Amino acid sequence: MALLETVRAEREAKIARLKEAGMDPYPARTARTHSVDQFLENHGTLEKNSEQVMLAGRVLSIREHGGSLFIDIFDGTKGQCFVQREKLGADSYDLFTATVDTGDVIEVSGLAFTTKRGMPSLDVSGWRMLAKSLRPLPDEWFGIKDEDERFRKRYLDILLTKDLAERIKRRSKFWNTIRAYLLARDFVEVETPVLETTTGGAEARPFVTHHNALDMDVYLRISAGELWQKRLLVAGLPKTFEIGRIFRNEGMSAEHAQDYTQLEFYEAFKDYESGMEMVTDLYRTIADKVYGTRVFSIKGSEVDLDKEWETYDFCALMEKEYGASPLDEGVDWAAVLEKKGIPFEKGAGVERLVDIAWKQIRKTLAGPGFLVNVPVYMEPLAKKSAKDPRVVERFQVMIAGSEIGKGFSELNDPVDQAERFKRQQQLREAGDEEAQMPDAEFVEALEYGMPPAFGFGVSERLFSFLEGVSVREGQIFPLMRPR
């Protein structure tokens, strides 16, 4: 800390010197004529025409060379500038060397030229401070190694780690590829409430907050408007989607965050089988447009999105592993888990116990593939299968041992939906905080008639998987506990 205080004092003294010289260390405007990228792209023409150029950027390095300076500035692209006493004049050059540090944001003007080593550069004839830094940047080559510190000072991590800036651009392209895909198919982008009196659309523990104006507690949503978008199907909008932030007050892991971005879309007069075709095409489109490949190495598995996707039968896999089907009555799943040495919470309902058992199998499925034939009691919002009413018309995308997207033929029978909500309420009363809350107003909307429909949701977990990083690493500013 003492070193930082010393550096800060030195830089505050440099600010005073800039002011004495009549230079504002934090001006509001710059006369920049080109970005560094534009400068480099048009360097040959600018050099040939001896055109005056003004660049602006952060100083990343200062290298002394025979009484002159080579500096690298960065505005999203790095460029080299050559600073000479003869060009600047003694007073301006001395002020530069006395006050400019790495980390400062400066403006430089001059002519384009090419060094003897063939490096396109700017021969500086004038300069100005735009933002004097009070703290030194970490070493460009070593960056910030501590993960906690990297996340807290993400702006420095991004500045010093080129691929992080590129990842942010890919993240934007990822979501905009999805948006363009749906818009091209006549889907309407919508916004649904983030504050809700009843959470729905997923099984998760919500965040609770207080609405002062209405003097009532409300929840931050746990899905991107599933029950709201289904109301829009009732309203006669056949294709809708939302890309938005959702919030789940649960544990943290490499695959789980508490606030993250999710896509959900709904299409009337479609079912989950046609939905599988669409989702396969969507994932391949993302791979093509964002990464230029359909083959990824994810958690030690090679995942080829181009090959024919597998179909995994939930009940068959469970019976093969545990000798009992989730459809069998009277199975003591607590005893099954105990025999296998799999930990579980005492008193958990069959839904939670079967899910815990399933997660052991899930790890072994490399995918890509679709998990189907999940029991009705595990999915309160999906339509029962016409072939076997004990299971629902639901699929989950399986990639590298994880579930990366879920879709189903939407339940539109209001009586059936009310019964399933009733079971979820029983689970909540038994202590399952992740069970869904009954939504009587949604059931009422279904009573007016909702057309058969397909719905699908996928979160930014897909992006982190394709990037080969944790969900937190894939976020721009992950949530951190205050120091």
Compute, in degrees rounded to 10, the torsion defined by CA atoms 468, 471, 474, 476: -170
Instruction: Determine the Cα–Cα distance for residues 151 and 204; give it in Å rounded to an integer.
Output: 26
Q: Which of 45-54, 60-69, 171-180, 279-288 has the lowest mean pLDDT?
A: 60-69
Examine the domain organization and report whether 164 and 124 are in the same domain.
no
Compute, in degrees rounded to 10, the torsion defined by CA atoms 331, 336, 337, 340: -160
Mean pLDDT, rounded, for 21-28: 97
pLDDT at position 328 over 70: yes
Which of 137, 167, 184 is the C-terminal boundary of a domain?
137
Examine the domain organization and report whether 114 and 43 are in the same domain.
yes
pLDDT tens per residue, range 49-65: 999 999 999 999 999 98
Examine the domain organization and report whether 133 and 252 are in the same domain.
no
**347 within domain boundaries:** no
pLDDT tens per residue, range 443-454: 999 999 999 999
Instruction: Determine the Cα–Cα distance for residues 229 and 440; give it in Å rounded to an integer.
Output: 16
* pLDDT score for 435: 81
Mean pLDDT, rounded, for 458-478: 95
> What would the two tokens of residue 454 be?
């397909």
Examine the domain organization and report whether 262 and 386 are in the same domain.
yes
pLDDT tens per residue, range 362-409: 999 999 999 999 999 999 999 999 999 999 999 999 999 999 999 999
* pLDDT score for 144: 66
Show the CA angle centred on residue 278, arms to residues 188 and 442, nearest 5°: 50
Beta-carbon contacts of 399 under 8 Å, excluding residues fewer than 6 positions away, are: 298, 303, 366, 367, 368, 462, 465
What range does the domain containing 197 cover? 158-309+367-474
* pLDDT score for 203: 79
Examine the domain organization and report whether 407 and 277 are in the same domain.
yes
**148 within domain boundaries:** no
* pLDDT score for 142: 54
Confidence of residue 143 (pLDDT cuts 50, 70, 90): low
Examine the domain organization and report whether 117 and 173 are in the same domain.
no
What CATH number is attached to the domain comprising 26? Answer: 2.40.50.140
* pLDDT score for 55: 98
Mean pLDDT, rounded, for 263-292: 97
Examine the domain organization and report whether 126 and 165 are in the same domain.
no
> What would the two tokens of residue 209 be?
């907050």
Length of the chain: 483
Residue 50 and residue 113 in contact, taking contact as beta carbons nearer than 8 Å: no
**343 within domain boundaries:** no
Examine the domain organization and report whether 207 and 270 are in the same domain.
yes
**Global pTM value:** 0.90
Confidence of residue 200 (pLDDT cuts 50, 70, 90): confident
Examine the domain organization and report whether 52 and 166 are in the same domain.
no
* pLDDT score for 428: 84
* pLDDT score for 431: 82
Examine the domain organization and report whether 206 and 60 are in the same domain.
no
pLDDT at position 465 over 60: yes
Examine the domain organization and report whether 304 and 191 are in the same domain.
yes
**404 within domain boundaries:** yes
Q: Count how many domains the chain has.
A: 2
Which of 79, 104, 137 is the C-terminal boundary of a domain?
137
Please state, rounded to an integer, the average pLDDT across all residues of the chain.
93
Mean pLDDT, rounded, for 167-179: 97
Residue 226 and residue 203 in contact, taking contact as beta carbons nearer than 8 Å: no
Confidence of residue 147 (pLDDT cuts 50, 70, 90): confident
Examine the domain organization and report whether 8 and 51 are in the same domain.
yes
Q: Nearest to residue 55, comparing CAs of 41, 74, 42?
A: 74
What CATH number is attached to the domain comprising 222? Answer: 3.30.930.10
Which of 137, 170, 187 is the C-terminal boundary of a domain?
137
pLDDT tens per residue, range 63-110: 998 889 999 999 999 999 999 999 999 999 999 999 999 999 999 999
* pLDDT score for 69: 96
